[in-house]
A and B are shown apart, each in its own frame.
Chain A
Amino acid sequence: MQQFINITLSGLVEGMIYAAFALALVLIWRSTRIVNFAQGAMAAATAFIALALIDAGQSYWVALIVALVSGFVLGAIVERVIIRPVEGGPELNAVIVTLGLFVAIQALIAIVFGSAFQSFPTPFGVRGFEVGDTTIALTPTSLYIIGSVLITMALLVALFRFTRVGLAMRASAFGQEVARLLGVRVGRMLTLGWALAAVVGSLSGLLIAGGEFIYPAYMDSLIVFGFVAAVLGGLDSPVGAIVGGLLLGLALSYVSGYLPRGSALVNVAALVILMVVLLVRPGGLFASSVARRA
């Protein structure tokens, strides 16, 4: 029983991180119809900036805020300078550009910060809570992760539903021409979309690093699982991203824990789950109808 609870809880926490990353992909998809493969590398870059600050004696929170801000700036710059020229062009070109960005940023991190493992702090404890006389796989740090992702999602939903900027962003995403006619500065909205997505991506990068360690390629597996989670949920839906992330995290944790030599099957399981879902619902779990409302 304890084993089941712990496998479930660790899957949930892992899933929350997938969800955060998926959320960032969804944001960019909604604003520019591009899947950003450089998301992970951009997030890693901000994590290294945060670590440099912590090494210089700053507190975790200062470093976190600076990292998120630098994520915002990085996202905006990337959209303006690199993505803008290929926006509206052949769809594959944008994919290749983000792939190029991914490779280049990761290499740059290694050149600037070195490729060694570096420990990354978490502001909260890493010992599991005790319930009765057993310890469960829920730590103050995992509560921090879950809380941060939920708050971020709530803020995003609020932004899109209740603010003028959010409305303008949605308008730009769904009909650029119409939005322009209505006086929305579409270009700015696209930049804002990328910048916000980079902030969310950066947050997921810092959350997964917390209490563990980082190196230039540490976000690689998250790119895959985050993308799978986003597709699972239906790329248009923030709620879908969260649900997709949690489902994937849980499923992979069970596969890893209960199948013999399950750890080797995790990637295969992700493939099977995604294929099954897409065969039933080619647009993901939360396809179109839900997405339009969100």
Chain B
Amino acid sequence: MSAPNTPVSAAGAATEEAPLTATAAANVPSTQATESGRSFLPASTLLRHLVTVLLAIVGSVILLEITDPFTNSQLAQLSYYAIAAGGLTVLTGLNGQISLGHGALMAVGAYTTALFLQADEPVALPLILLVSVLTATVVGALVGVAAARLHGPYLAGATLALAVGLPGLAIYFHDTLGGEQGLRVRAPQPPDLFKEFIGWVSGNSATGTKWLAYVGAICLILTYFLLANLVRSRIGRTWRAVRDQEVAAELAGINLGAWRVLAFTVSAAAAGLAGGVLALVIRLAAPSGFTLVLSLSLLTAIVLGGLGSLLGALLGSALLVFLPPFVTDLGADLGLDNTEAAQLAPFVYGVVLIVAMIFAPAGFVGTVRLRWLTYRAKQRAAAARSSSGG
């Protein structure tokens, strides 16, 4: 957490590559990332992102059709974690604000979706999800206004209180929000078009689980496409400036507070969508689904994956989804009984967090990128030496 009397970042100018400056700033000299490694993709950012989206769509379809139904359901779970983590990594990685309260914003989205699906003839799903995004955006903007004035641990404390406080409202207003039991969600049935599509692609049966996995994947790709473009735009650059060069940015006429509120609002929108998808996948919006653990898990996901990187947020979320069942099954295979195996999962998760932060402080994406840059620098140095020596 930011301390008023320790330099937040030693890096010079606001750079394009957030993970380098945000998490590995202390460890490496600020390196201007070069675009040369991506020469096989179109030069225009938008075009490049569109190509990536196409690849992601094809990849998702292949992934969802070759895996079994349980993995499908895990991927659906991955999608809502990753959507929320994507928004959070923009807020924390790019704009430098910490939030321990995004679980509460997810709850806002989830309850909105659940309420709209309670109707006898609910409106179309995309519309419901859009309303969930809007509701969370409004709440996020309100929180953002308060948060913009706060720093470091004060912001952490306020958002922590948000994480435990907001779901409490659902218990208090139990008549509309279902209390501790929550609101049950009847997930919409897959449309016929979808069944035809799946029949055409793979011949698998188009179950409700599969439909939700596709809904999740679509939302995820859409969110990441929008976020990626935002990050590369003038807005993204301004956010980085606000994070790295507070004083200079202010002198340049940037209204720090307004930009912080905007960042919070954008990430809240993502959290709202994530909450909507969660309500569909879990088929329930209940306070016990939005504990502090959820908010903290999102934070661990983005740091573990590589702060500021959407790919990192995705990878970190994957760890959240796949590690616990993996460890539990491993424990069971090793002869532990079901209870012991279950207790092993959080233990291993905790240890992984500690070890990863000590040995790969830049997160997964950041560390790989660092290795790659170091390797290239060495090669260049070697080439220079051999040319000068020969």
Contacts and interface: CB of A to CB of B under 8 A. Distances in A.
B308 to A, nearest CB: 11
Contacts of A29: 153
A9 interface: no
Contacts of B98: 92, 95
Contacts of A6: none
Contacts of B27: 89
Contact of B154 (A89, A267, A278): A278
A264 B27 CA distance: 46
B149 A282 contact: yes
Contact of A230 (B157, B166, B347): B157
A24 interface: no
A228 B160 contact: yes
The main secondary structure of chain A at its interface with chain B is helix
B332 interface: no
Interface residues of A, number: 56
A100 B357 contact: yes
A283 interface: yes
Given A104-B351, A274-B158, A279 B165 contact: no
Contacts of A37: 296
Q: Taking each of A88, A91, A284, which has the highest tally of chain B beta carbons within 10 Å of its own beta carbon?
A: A91
Contacts of B162: 271
A52 interface: no
A97 B351 CA distance: 9
B6 A278 contact: no
Interface in B1-49: 1-3, 5-6, 8, 22-27
Nearest to A41: B350
Contacts of A265: 168, 172
Interface stretch (B77-85, B266-274, B276-284, B338-346): B338-346
B122 interface: no
Contacts of A86: 357-358, 361
Interface of B is mostly: helix
A99 B172 CA distance: 29
Contacts of B8: 91
A165 interface: no
Contacts of B221: none
B82 to A, nearest CB: 18
Interface stretch (A12-20, A105-113, A127-135): A105-113
A270 B165 contact: yes
B168 A268 contact: yes
B265 to A, nearest CB: 17
B1 A95 contact: yes
A231 B158 contact: yes
Contacts of A272: 165
Interface string B131-150: 00000000000000010011
Interface in A234-282: 235, 261, 264-272, 274-275, 278-279, 282
Contact of A101 (B151, B153, B354): B354
Given A224-B164, A271-B161, A279-B146, A108 B300 contact: no
Contact of A96 (B166, B292, B303, B343): B303
23 contacts: A35-B1, A86-B361, A88-B26, A90-B23, A90-B24, A91-B8, A92-B98, A92-B307, A93-B303, A96-B303, A99-B300, A103-B347, A107-B343, A108-B347, A227-B160, A231-B153, A235-B153, A264-B171, A266-B168, A267-B168, A268-B165, A271-B166, A275-B146
4 tightest A-B CB contacts, nearest first: A104-B350, A100-B353, A271-B165, A231-B157
Interface of B: 1-3, 5-6, 8, 22-27, 92, 98, 146, 149-154, 156-158, 160-162, 164-169, 171-172, 292, 296, 299-300, 303-304, 307, 340, 343-347, 349-354, 357-358, 361
